[in-house]
Amino acid sequence: MTSFVLKIVAIITMFIDHLGYAVFNRLSPLNYIGRIAFPIFAFQISEGYVHTKDVRKYLARLFIFALISQIPFYLFLNKFLNNSGLNIFFTLLLGLISIIVFDLIKNKISDRIGKIVAVIPVICICILGEIINVDYGWWGILVIFTFYFFKDKKLKMIISFVILCVIRYGIQILLYGFSISYVHRMLYTMFPIILISLYKGKQGKKMKYFCYLFYPIHLLLLYILF
């Protein structure tokens, strides 16, 4: 499994997710499939950080596309879900920042205490994400960080991700009551960890800006067409 294949799966399932909202104006089975997309994008951020030659350019790229995507995202969200918030690029950006801050602090304090101290700003960034209402909130940022934290321990990465999924949908069940749709969404959200575990660290075909451009363009097209 290459990074290219993972990105293609994420793009297709993301489009299916947003198409479902555009067609039905509510949650539908298409949105279950759409739950596959975000964990793959989150994993790609952790991998991107490891392999990037210039983390500052990586940050700048995410920030620029976060700004570019906000109007299409707002139009889409307001029209089909009567909602608002900050788009997924802001989530990915905060996730990347949490990794960078963690590494900076951990490298200055090299023992186990350093890791504990370094997690504190990560928690603060998760809280910030919830306050400013980024897509997927604290959970999305924490998933990105967790993929990085356990990048060399595949089993722990899988277990921690599954636990995060159970926590996320468990909270929703506690808040809004049990519905079988939460179980379906949880299972589809967990599914991409299988694909991620098959990843062999190879890039495959390059598609550097395609993912970035596809996001705002397809949101705008769905807004116009539906």
pLDDT tens string 77-111: 999 998 999 999 999 999 999 999 999 998 887 77
Biggest CA-to-CA distance, the chain: 55
For residues 106 and 116, give the distance between their C-alpha atoms in angstroms, rounded to a whole number. Answer: 8
Please report which confidence band the pLDDT of residue 121 belongs to, taking 50, 70 and 90 as the band edges: very high
The whole-number pLDDT of residue 201 equals: 87
The whole-number pLDDT of residue 107 equals: 85
Q: Is the pLDDT of residue 221 over 90?
A: yes
Percent of the chain exceeding pLDDT 70 equals 99
Q: Which residues of 193-211 are buried (b: 16+ CB within 10 A; e: fewer)?
A: bebbeebeeeeeeeeeeeb
Tell me the three state secondary structure of residue 167: helix
pLDDT tens string 177-189: 999 999 999 999 9
Task: Write down the domain spans for the chain.
Answer: 3-225
The whole-number pLDDT of residue 202 equals: 87
pLDDT tens string 137-157: 999 999 999 999 999 999 999
Q: Is the pLDDT of residue 16 over 90?
A: yes
* Mean model confidence pLDDT for the chain: 95
For residues 158 and 164, give the distance between their C-alpha atoms in angstroms, rounded to a whole number. Answer: 10
- DSSP characters for 89-145? HHHHHHHHHHHHHHHHHHHHS-SHHHHHHHHHHHHHHHHHHHHTTBTTHHHHHHHHH
Structure token digits, residue 31 = 């949105």
For residues 152 and 223, give the distance between their C-alpha atoms in angstroms, rounded to a whole number. Answer: 41
